[in-house]
Amino acid sequence: MPDRSLAIHVRHVNKSFDQGAYVVHALKDINFDAYINELLMIVGPSGCGKTTLLSVVAGTLSFESGEIDVFNNSLHQLSVDAITTFRRENVGFIFQQFHLIPTLNCIENVAVPLLLQNIKMKDALERAGEMIKTFGLGGREREKPKNLSGGQQQRIAIARALVHNPRLIICDEPTSSLDAETGCHVMELLSKIAKTENRCVIVVTHDNRIFNYADRVTKMNDGKIVENNVQLT
Tell me how far CA of residue 7 lies from CA of 73, 161, 164, 199, in angstroms. Answer: 10, 18, 18, 8
d(CA 77, CA 85): 14
Dihedral of alpha carbons 109, 110, 114, 120, sign: negative
Q: Within a 10 A sphere around the Cβ of 19, how many other Cβ atoms?
A: 8
Nearer to other proteins, 47 or 138 (CB): 47
Q: 42, 50 in Cβ contact below 8 A?
A: yes
Nearer to other proteins, 35 or 89 (CB): 89
Kindly tell me which of 84 and 221 has the beta carbon lying closer to other proteins.
84
Round to whole Å and give the CA distance between 149 and 163.
21
Choice between 14 and 60, CB closer to other proteins: 60
Rank residues 97 and 212 by Cβ distance to other proteins and give the closer one: 97
CB of 111 to other proteins, least distance (A): 8
Closest approach of Cβ 152 to other proteins, in Å?
18
Nearest approach in angstroms of CB 9 to other proteins is 21
Residue 182: Cβ-neighbour burial (10 angstroms; 0-12, 13-18, 19+): middle
- Smallest gap, in angstroms, from Cβ of residue 216 to other proteins? 21
Residue 4 CB, shortest distance to other proteins, in Å, is: 26
3-class secondary-structure state, position 141: coil
Contact residues toward other proteins (CB under 8 A) are 51-52, 54-55, 58, 60-61, 81, 84-85, 87-89, 91, 93, 95-97, 99, 101-104, 108, 112-113, 115-117, 121, 172-173, 176
